Amino acid sequence: MPHPPIQRKEYNRSSIWNVDMLLFTKSTKMGVELHGYKYVYYSRKHHGKQKGDLVMTDTIKRDVSYLSKTLFIKGLQCHKALFLHKYNPELKDEVSDAKEALFSSGRDVGVFAQQLFPGGVEIPYEGLSLSDQIKQTQTEIKKGTATIYEAAFGYKGAFCKIDILHKGKDGWEIYEVKSSTAMKDVYYDDVAFQYYVLRNTGLPISKASLVHLNNEYVKDGNVEVDRLFIIQDLTKTAKEQESVVSEELQKQREMLTGDLPDIDIGEYCNNPYDCDFAEHCWAHIPENSIFDLRGKGVNKFDLYRQGIIRMKDIPKYMLNFKQGIQVAGTLKKKDHIIKKNIRDFLESLWQPLYFLDFETFMPPIPLFNGTRPYQQIPFQYSLHYMEQEGGELNHSEFLASPNCDPRHELTEKLVNEIPGSACVLAYNMSFERRILEDLGSWFSQYGSRIENIIDNMRDLMAPFRNKDCYLWQMNGAYSIKTVLPTLVPELSYDEMEISDGGMAMNAYTMMCETEDPKELERIRKALLEYCSLDTLGMVRIVERLREIGG
């Protein structure tokens, strides 16, 4: 029988990016199949298609029926996100370093969890097509392999990989591994999708479970994999959700054969996950919008749906004290300074004055005795200090060598460097205090000296958090990354290779992975520069507060 003809349909996908898409579809008994699409990009200076503007074309084969678990979950969050992911992936936001690090730690946890059922056979991703992965899985099942990692299954275009598939005495058991330390609602959907696909392939499933890290587990000697992970049996809900999954898959497929869904931004843009298309979908939100408002109490999407988008249009009665300061500051370029409170804060400090900042990393699988999953482990600190007001500014620092337990060396150096009489300033001191408390619990020999440092700590963030010193350019924020460039523009994180704590954490992990001495030195230098700027910045902020407080 001859194949039905392939239809050509033209859509204008986005007036912002000036991208047209040609869809090549074919009608079959099952509905409309997508056979390919072709982007036609136009120069951005023209809004609309103009002859001669074609700058690039790109054709990619697509199969509308293919829906992986990730795509299904994306579609549950927002159909438009799924559509864009399938047809306009070039509109995705850039993947941040923090997100990339999260993916990477997720992979590590998945591999570690395989030890729950050791001796299994892994179905690799690389070098195998989807159908090859499915075939190889079937081969292992037929061979009698009892545990398969990354087992692959497909049913009518719905495709999933199972982190751990284990043959128990009553049938096959699904284990979906997550690197988080708690259950989340979206995990029920993950497991339900897998259960649906596997059941429909005819595999007898006796159990479907979610495996996540146990944040109460404390390492003592070798990691005990049975205690590191918590297994939650979700079989009952997975069974109950079978028809829901089936209906939703149908809806998603139908949606994918049509036009881009007309879905406006909403609460779902970052729930349960931050959507990859935020920059694209939120492009119409102007500067100084209701979404720039900090703090709680105002339902921004309620306002948005009422057509209130700009900050200037928020009814004043809805704003709390701090939000009122932010809105007045933004609209009238007005600072909010309470000199007396700034002076009171400065008078609460004393000499010698020490400025402290830690950098930490958070291994999901505890590396050192006495630590829990994701516990912050300090690997670096910077300390600026002066013995008397207007005296010489000194600097000391510590950066651990890679691949060692940095805690003892760091603690010993720190307690020896901070005199018992010193006032210790930190920016957002709850973080530094928590690290110090942990150091005290690990090394009781330094306990009283650490307690003394904690007692003598003051929080430089306080005048900014309380809005005693608020410059309108801060736009409601009070982190050091906002306050420093606003008060001391000559000190900026902009040109730095490492410019925030997340990047510092990734850099230390890279230090532990590289064997190239030059690369190691480059990362060391970047880390030292970054941490030192944090404490030097605090010194300059205090100087500016003295000027502003009068």
**Considering the complex, what minimum distance in angstroms separates the CB of residue 281 from ligand SF4?**
3
Task: Check residue 73 for interaction with ligand SF4 (CB under 6 A).
Answer: no
Task: Check residue 281 for interaction with ligand SF4 (CB under 6 A).
Answer: yes
Edge-to-edge strand order for the sheet containing 19-28? 6-14, 19-28, 31-42, 54-60
**Considering the complex, what minimum distance in angstroms separates the CB of residue 194 from ligand SF4?**
23
Residue found by looking up tokens 């004043």 in the block: 316
How many Cα atoms are found within 13 Å in the side-chain-facing hemisphere of 157?
Answer: 15
Stretch that binds ligand SF4, among 73-81, 128-136, 371-379, 426-434 (CB under 6 A): 73-81
From 19, 21, 23, 84, residue interacting with ligand SF4 (rule: CB under 6 A): 84
**Considering the complex, what minimum distance in angstroms separates the CB of residue 73 from ligand SF4?**
12
Stretch that binds ligand SF4, among 163-171, 212-220, 268-276, 373-381 (CB under 6 A): 268-276
Stretch that binds ligand SF4, among 229-237, 260-268, 363-371, 495-503 (CB under 6 A): 260-268
From 198, 208, 213, 265, residue interacting with ligand SF4 (rule: CB under 6 A): 265
Instruction: For residues 228 and 237, give the distance between their C-alpha atoms in angstroms, rounded to a whole number.
Output: 24
Instruction: For residues 410 and 376, give the distance between their C-alpha atoms in angstroms, rounded to a whole number.
Output: 14
Stretch that binds ligand SF4, among 75-83, 174-182, 394-402, 492-500 (CB under 6 A): 75-83
Stretch that binds ligand SF4, among 23-31, 80-88, 174-182, 542-550 (CB under 6 A): 80-88
Task: Check residue 275 for interaction with ligand SF4 (CB under 6 A).
Answer: yes
Instruction: For residues 136 and 123, give the distance between their C-alpha atoms in angstroms, rounded to a whole number.
Output: 7
Q: How many residues bind ligand SF4 (CB under 6 A)?
A: 12
For ligand SF4, the closer of residues 34 and 81 by Cβ is 81
Q: Does residue 272 have a cis bond before it (omega within 30 degrees)?
A: yes
**Considering the complex, what minimum distance in angstroms separates the CB of residue 12 from ligand SF4?**
18
Which helix (H) or strand (E) covers residue 511, if one does? helix 501-513
For ligand SF4, the closer of residues 281 and 523 by Cβ is 281
**Considering the complex, what minimum distance in angstroms separates the CB of residue 278 from ligand SF4?**
5
**Considering the complex, what minimum distance in angstroms separates the CB of residue 305 from ligand SF4?**
13
For ligand SF4, the closer of residues 93 and 313 by Cβ is 93
For ligand SF4, the closer of residues 263 and 520 by Cβ is 263
Assess contact for 399 and 528: CB atoms under 8 A. Answer: yes
**Considering the complex, what minimum distance in angstroms separates the CB of residue 384 from ligand SF4?**
42
Stretch that binds ligand SF4, among 130-138, 262-270, 359-367, 537-545 (CB under 6 A): 262-270
- The two tokens of residue 108 are 């590590």
Task: Check residue 91 for interaction with ligand SF4 (CB under 6 A).
Answer: no
**Considering the complex, what minimum distance in angstroms separates the CB of residue 245 from ligand SF4?**
20
Task: Check residue 291 for interaction with ligand SF4 (CB under 6 A).
Answer: no
Instruction: For residues 531 and 396, give the distance between their C-alpha atoms in angstroms, rounded to a whole number.
Output: 11
DSSP string, 436-504: HHHHHHH-GGGHHHHHHHHHTEEETTHHHHTTSEE-GGGTT--SHHHHHHHH-TTS-STT-S--SHHHH
Instruction: For residues 380 and 398, give the distance between their C-alpha atoms in angstroms, rounded to a whole number.
Output: 5
**Residue type at 26?**
K
Instruction: For residues 170 and 415, give the distance between their C-alpha atoms in angstroms, rounded to a whole number.
Output: 58
Question: How many other CB atoms are there within 10 angstroms of residue 467's CB atom?
Answer: 21
Length reported for the chain: 550
From 263, 349, 488, 512, residue interacting with ligand SF4 (rule: CB under 6 A): 263
- CA torsion angle for 516, 518, 524, 525 (degrees, to 10)? -160
From 278, 298, 328, 454, residue interacting with ligand SF4 (rule: CB under 6 A): 278
For ligand SF4, the closer of residues 75 and 110 by Cβ is 75
Task: Check residue 269 for interaction with ligand SF4 (CB under 6 A).
Answer: yes
Stretch that binds ligand SF4, among 76-84, 109-117, 464-472, 517-525 (CB under 6 A): 76-84
Task: Check residue 228 for interaction with ligand SF4 (CB under 6 A).
Answer: no
Residues 6 or more apart whose CB falls under 8 angstroms from that of 515 comprise: none
Q: Where are the alpha helices (DSSP H) in 392-428?
A: 407-417
**Considering the complex, what minimum distance in angstroms separates the CB of residue 277 from ligand SF4?**
4
Buried b (16+ CB within 10 A) or exposed e, 137-156: beebbeeebebbbbbbbbbe
- The closest alpha carbon to 45, from 34, 35, 55, belongs to 55
Which helix (H) or strand (E) covers residue 111, if one does? helix 97-113
**Considering the complex, what minimum distance in angstroms separates the CB of residue 280 from ligand SF4?**
7
DSSP string, 185-213: HHHHHHHHHHHHHHHHTT--EEEEEEEEE
**Considering the complex, what minimum distance in angstroms separates the CB of residue 261 from ligand SF4?**
8
By CB under 6 A, the residues from 96 to 155 that bind ligand SF4 are none
Task: Check residue 78 for interaction with ligand SF4 (CB under 6 A).
Answer: yes
From 32, 81, 91, 460, residue interacting with ligand SF4 (rule: CB under 6 A): 81
For ligand SF4, the closer of residues 238 and 309 by Cβ is 309
From 87, 117, 229, 277, residue interacting with ligand SF4 (rule: CB under 6 A): 277
Task: Check residue 268 for interaction with ligand SF4 (CB under 6 A).
Answer: yes
Q: Does residue 402 have a cis bond before it (omega within 30 degrees)?
A: no
Binding residues for ligand SF4, rule: CB under 6 A, are 78, 80-81, 84, 263, 265, 268-269, 275, 277-278, 281
